[in-house]
């Protein structure tokens, strides 16, 4: 008969949790890293040419990334609940096309038109949400199909060429400056703050995270999962519509393919920002950082005169790099670095 070390009688025999709590949460580390990278990139571009990396370039980056940030918020919420919104491109187009034709170059009724457009877009999202929850359609298919349908409707509605102009006031807004900073950047800051509040510091956000984390458990816990998911798709579509309105105001007109440049980047921004593509984990601040990272990269590469091909490759490379670095194992490793023993 063997007998071995009978164990030290130190603490009680109860199975204690030997994992220790994080002093610094991994999300904070991620978000900080992303913004750090943006800063580094901007400063590094200074080395290439003194005309780069200045405040004006920072301003350009913030301005341009705002569009991506607005639609990435909605995409981020949808991804958080284990979904995907592929109709973003088409709904952006809807927002732009409707702005151009409904406003028709005049400021009258602006206060009615904008909410109407947002509502119409939200309805598209709600239909997506219903398809996904009530009819159990895979989000990929549902949003792809609705995107195709909506785009086709736009095509028919405009007869191939969108007509009209957004209200002059909107164009003025996009060009205005408040305290020397362009108004879209202010919009970005406000949006980022509100979005973060909603996603990370509200009961709504907690419920969404729960649903994305474990849909079955959410149901058993009494959460109205269906309603939440439908609402989220509605929000995503509204954000896309909002983006479309702003884009049309910026360009003083709408084109049928105006949303194309935002679909995949919206997913990329969410992913690079540290959210899990599987849902249940992610912050909006990270997504904003991700959007800024991608925009910064794109702007600097363009300014450097790098061809479209290499630019695209590098953007893809950055996304890949972000994915590799953001894996869970890396999280655990980082956490192990900053842990303390109890």
Applying the rule CB under 8 A, the residues between 22 and 81 that interact with another protein are: none
User: In whole angstroms, how close is the CB of 103 to another protein at the nearest point?
Assistant: 23
**SS3 of 149-190:** HHHHHHHHHHCCCCCCCCCHHHHHHHHCEECCEEHHHHHHHH
List Cβ neighbours of 268 (8 Å cut-off, separation of 6 or more): 290, 294, 315, 319
93 is a contact residue toward another protein (CB under 8 A): no
Restricting to residues 150-189, which ones interact with another protein according to CB under 8 A?
151-153, 155-156, 159-160
CB 208 within 8 A of CB 199: yes
Give the residue with the Cβ less far from another protein, 143 or 171. Answer: 143
Give the residue with the Cβ less far from another protein, 187 or 334. Answer: 334
Burial class (CB in 10 A: 0-12, 13-18, 19+), 18: exposed
* Binder among 47, 55, 309, 337 for another protein (CB under 8 A): 309
Residues present in the chain in total: 342
Q: With CB under 8 A as the contact rule, which of the stretches 35-43, 110-118, 220-228, 240-248 interacts with another protein?
A: 220-228
- Angle at CA 172, nearest 5°, toward 171 and 178? 130
Short-list 118, 37, 137, 33, CA closest to 74:
118
Q: Which residues are 177's β-sheet partners?
A: 182
2 is a contact residue toward another protein (CB under 8 A): yes
* Binder among 54, 109, 115, 316 for another protein (CB under 8 A): 316
Q: With CB under 8 A as the contact rule, which of the stretches 38-46, 59-67, 131-139, 171-179 interacts with another protein?
A: 131-139
Give the residue with the Cβ less far from another protein, 31 or 62. Answer: 31
* Binder among 24, 48, 197, 304 for another protein (CB under 8 A): 197
User: In whole angstroms, how close is the CB of 165 to another protein at the nearest point?
Assistant: 22
Q: With CB under 8 A as the contact rule, which of the stretches 43-51, 99-107, 200-208, 229-237 interacts with another protein?
A: 200-208
Taking the C-alpha atoms of residue 68 and residue 313, their distance in angstroms, rounded to an integer, is 20
User: In whole angstroms, how close is the CB of 318 to another protein at the nearest point?
Assistant: 8
* Binder among 178, 179, 308, 337 for another protein (CB under 8 A): 308
User: In whole angstroms, how close is the CB of 309 to another protein at the nearest point?
Assistant: 3
Torsion angle of alpha carbons 195, 199, 200, 206, nearest 10°?
Answer: 160
144 is a contact residue toward another protein (CB under 8 A): yes
Short-list 87, 170, 157, 192, CA closest to 129:
87
Restricting to residues 222-241, which ones interact with another protein according to CB under 8 A?
222-224
340 is a contact residue toward another protein (CB under 8 A): no
Taking the C-alpha atoms of residue 38 and residue 294, their distance in angstroms, rounded to an integer, is 9
Strand, coil or helix: what is 224?
coil
337 is a contact residue toward another protein (CB under 8 A): no
Restricting to residues 246-305, which ones interact with another protein according to CB under 8 A?
264, 267-268, 271, 276-278, 280-281
* Binder among 74, 91, 99, 207 for another protein (CB under 8 A): 207
Strand, coil or helix: what is 282?
coil
């Amino acid at each position: 008969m063997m007998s071995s070390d009978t164990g030290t009688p130190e603490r009680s025999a109860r199975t204690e949790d030997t994992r220790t709590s994080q002093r610094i949460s991994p999300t904070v580390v991620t978000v900080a890293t992303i913004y750090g990278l943006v800063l580094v990139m901007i400063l590094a571009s200074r080395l290439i040419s003194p005309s780069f990396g200045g405040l004006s370039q920072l301003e350009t980056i913030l301005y341009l990334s705002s569009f991506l940030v607005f639609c990435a918020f909605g995409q981020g919420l949808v991804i958080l609940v284990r979904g995907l919104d592929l109709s973003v491109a088409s709904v952006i187009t809807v927002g732009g096309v409707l702005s151009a034709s409904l406003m028709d170059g005049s400021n009258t009724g602006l206060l009615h038109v904008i909410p109407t457009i947002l509502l119409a877009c939200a309805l598209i999202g709600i239909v997506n949400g219903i398809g996904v929850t009530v009819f159990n359609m895979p989000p990929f298919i549902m949003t792809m199909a609705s995107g195709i349908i909506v785009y086709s409707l736009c095509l028919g509605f405009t007869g191939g060429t969108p007509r009209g102009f957004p209200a002059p006031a909107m164009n003025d807004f996009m060009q205005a400056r408040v305290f020397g900073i362009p108004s879209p950047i202010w919009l970005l800051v406000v949006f980022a703050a509100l979005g973060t509040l909603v996603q990370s510091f509200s009961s709504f956000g907690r419920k969404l995270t729960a649903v994305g984390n474990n849909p079955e458990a959410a149901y058993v816990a009494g959460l109205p999962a269906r309603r939440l998911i439908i609402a989220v798709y509605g929000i995503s579509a509204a954000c896309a519509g909002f983006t479309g309105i702003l884009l049309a105001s910026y360009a003083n007109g709408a084109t049928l393919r105006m949303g194309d440049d935002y679909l995949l980047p919206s997913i990329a921004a969410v992913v690079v920002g540290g959210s899990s593509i599987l849902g249940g984990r992610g912050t909006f601040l990270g997504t904003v950082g991700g959007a800024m990272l991608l925009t910064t990269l794109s702007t600097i590469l363009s300014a450097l005169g790098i061809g479209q091909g290499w630019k695209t490759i590098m953007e893809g490379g950055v996304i890949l790099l972000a994915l590799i670095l953001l894996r869970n194992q890396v999280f655990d490793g980082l956490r192990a670095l900053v842990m303390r023993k109890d």
